[in-house]
Amino acid sequence: MNRPFKIADALLDRLAHGHERHGQRWHLHLPREGESAAQLRPLLVLLGLPTFGLAFAISVLTTFGPVILIHLTHSTTLVGLLIGGEGAFALVIPLAAGALSDELPPSPLGRRFPFVVAGAPLAAFGLVLLPFSPSTAIAGAAVLAFFVGYYLYYPPYRALYADLLPRRLYARAQAGQAIARGAGLGFALLAGGLLLGVWQPLLFIIGAGILVATTIALLPVFRLESRCRDSTLPYRPASVRVILRYPKLRLFAVVNALWEFSFAGLKSFIVLYIVRGLGRSPAVASAVIAVVAVAYVAGAPLASWLADHYGIVRVLRVTSFIYGAGLVIGVLPHSLVPLLVGLPFVALAGAIVLTLPQALAFTLAPAGSEGAAAGLQDFSRGVGVVLGPIVVGAAIGASRSLFSATDGYAVMWLVIGIPVLLAAILLGRDWASETTWR
C-alpha cells in the first residue's frame, strides 16, 4: 500500500522542482486566493489527464466494441443490449461511490483515492478481455467489469474538481476537461480505424494501458492535497436522498440523461451506420468521426467563454436546440457528402452541450456534497448510456424496410435527435436563477 505513496511523492517532487526554470506558473500547487486558471495550469493538466484516459477507454468500448460483438451476435438489437444492458447492472455504483467518497474518513491520499485506485484496474481488465471473448456470455462479463470499474472511478474523480478549485473556475476547468475528453474520443476513433485491421485486440490493450497510465499521473494531485491541507477538508456531506429534494437537481438529472442517451446511441452505432448503412470502410468512418472529435475539442473553450458571458443554462438550452435539430435532419441524407456539410456545425453545438453539465451540477449542489452531485450526474449519464444503445439498436432492426437505402441505420438520427430537443424544452422551465443552494 506504500508503493502508490512513494510513486506519488516522486512524481510530486519532479513536478514541484523539475520545471523551476520555467517560473512559478509551472509549479504544481493548490489554488491560492485570486489566482487565474493560467497560474493553475499544472494542476488543471494533471486533473484532466484521467479524463483523457477514461474517454479513450469508453470510446473504444462503446464505438468499436459493437464491431466485435456483431460477429458474436449478428443482431444490432443484441449488440445494443450487450453494451447498454450490461451497464445497467452498474447504475447503482455512481450514486454510492460519489456519496461514499464525500463521507469516508481522510486517508493519506484523500477520500476519493480508494475509488479511483479500485476502479481503474477493473475497467482496464474488462477492456482487455472483450476482444478475446469466445462467447456472448464472456463478452457480457467483460462489458460489465468495465462499467463497474468506470462508474466506481468517475464520480469521485469528478468531485476532485469541486474539492480543489474555487467556484469561479468551474466552467473554465470543465472546458479543459472537455478538451481532454474530446482528445480521448478523437484519438480512440483514429486509432480504431488504423488498428482494428492490424490486430483487433491491440486497440483495447492500448486503451487499458492509457487508462492505467493517466490514473498514475493523478497520484501527485492526491498527495499534494494531503500535504497542503488539513486532513479534514470542509465537508458537510449530504446523502443522495437529500440532494434529490432539490427540484433543479432532479430536473438536471433528467436532462443529462437525455443528452447522454443521444450521445451513447450515436457512439454505439455511428461506425456501423457508415460501414453498413452507407457502405464505406472503417477507415473512412474513423476519418469522418475525427471531424466530430476536432469540433469537440474546439467547442470546449467556446463553451467556457459563452457560459461566462451568457450563463450556463441559457447556453445549454440554445445549443441543445441547434444540436437536436441537426441530428434530426441527419435522417434525410442517404450518402456521405451531404452529411459532411452540416457535420462540423452540429458537432460544435454538441460539444458545447457535453462540456457544461458537470459545472452546472456543481453549482446546483449543496455545499460539501459535490461527490454525491457527481454521482447523480453519472447515474443519469448511466441511464442514458444503458438506454441509448438498446433503443437505437432496436429501432434499426425494426426500420430496415422503412429506411431501406441505409439498411435501417438512418433511423438512428431521429432516435438520438428528439431527446436532445426535449432536453432543450425542459431547460426552459423554471431556470430563471442559476444560483446554488449553499
Tell the residue number behind the cell numbers 479513450, with chain if given: 56
CATH of the domain at 107: 1.20.1250.20
The answer to whether residue 433 sits within a structural domain is no
The answer to whether residue 437 sits within a structural domain is no
Residue of 324, 282, 322 lying closest to 415 (CA atoms): 324
Rounded distance between C-alpha atoms, residue 159 and residue 424, angstroms: 26
The answer to whether residue 32 sits within a structural domain is no
Q: Is the dihedral of CA 59, 76, 292, 296 positive or negative?
A: negative
The range of the structural domain enclosing residue 333 comes to 2-17+41-426
The answer to whether residue 368 sits within a structural domain is yes
Residue 385 neighbours by CB distance under 10 Å: 29
**Which own/partner contact pairs does 10-19 have at CB distance under 8 Å and 24+ positions apart?**
11/216, 11/217, 11/219, 11/220, 11/223, 12/220, 12/223, 12/224, 12/227, 15/42, 15/46, 15/220
Residue of 24, 28, 21 lying closest to 45 (CA atoms): 28
pTM given for the model: 0.69
State in Å, rounded, how far the first CA of the chain is from the last one: 37
> One digit per residue, pLDDT tens: the chain, 438 residues?
455 555 555 554 555 554 444 444 456 666 666 666 566 777 778 888 898 999 899 888 887 888 788 778 777 777 777 776 656 666 778 777 777 777 766 666 667 788 888 899 999 999 999 989 888 888 888 988 998 899 888 888 887 777 777 766 665 666 677 778 877 877 887 777 677 777 888 999 999 999 999 998 888 877 776 666 544 344 455 555 666 677 787 888 899 999 989 988 887 788 788 888 888 877 777 777 777 777 777 777 788 788 878 888 889 999 999 999 999 998 888 888 888 888 888 888 988 888 788 777 767 766 656 666 667 777 787 788 788 888 888 898 888 888 888 888 889 999 999 999 999 999 875 554 444 433
Cβ partners under 8 Å of residue 426, min gap 6: 251, 254, 255, 258
pLDDT of residue 233: 42
Quickly count helices (H) and strands (E) in the chain: 19, 0
Residue 405 neighbours by CB distance under 10 Å: 12
> Strand, coil or helix: what is 29?
coil
The answer to whether residue 265 sits within a structural domain is yes
**CA of 247: how far to CAs of 257, 276, 333, 364, 438, in Å?**
16, 43, 40, 10, 15
Question: CB burial class (10 A; 0-12, 13-18, 19+) of residue 353?
Answer: buried
The answer to whether residue 435 sits within a structural domain is no
The answer to whether residue 218 sits within a structural domain is yes
The answer to whether residue 164 sits within a structural domain is yes
User: Can you give 80-111 as a three-state secondary structure string?
Assistant: HHHHHHHHHCCCHHHHHHHHHHHHCCCCCCCC
The total number of structural domains in the chain stands at 1
Question: CB burial class (10 A; 0-12, 13-18, 19+) of residue 39?
Answer: middle
| Four-CA torsion 372, 374, 376, 377, nearest 10 degrees | 170
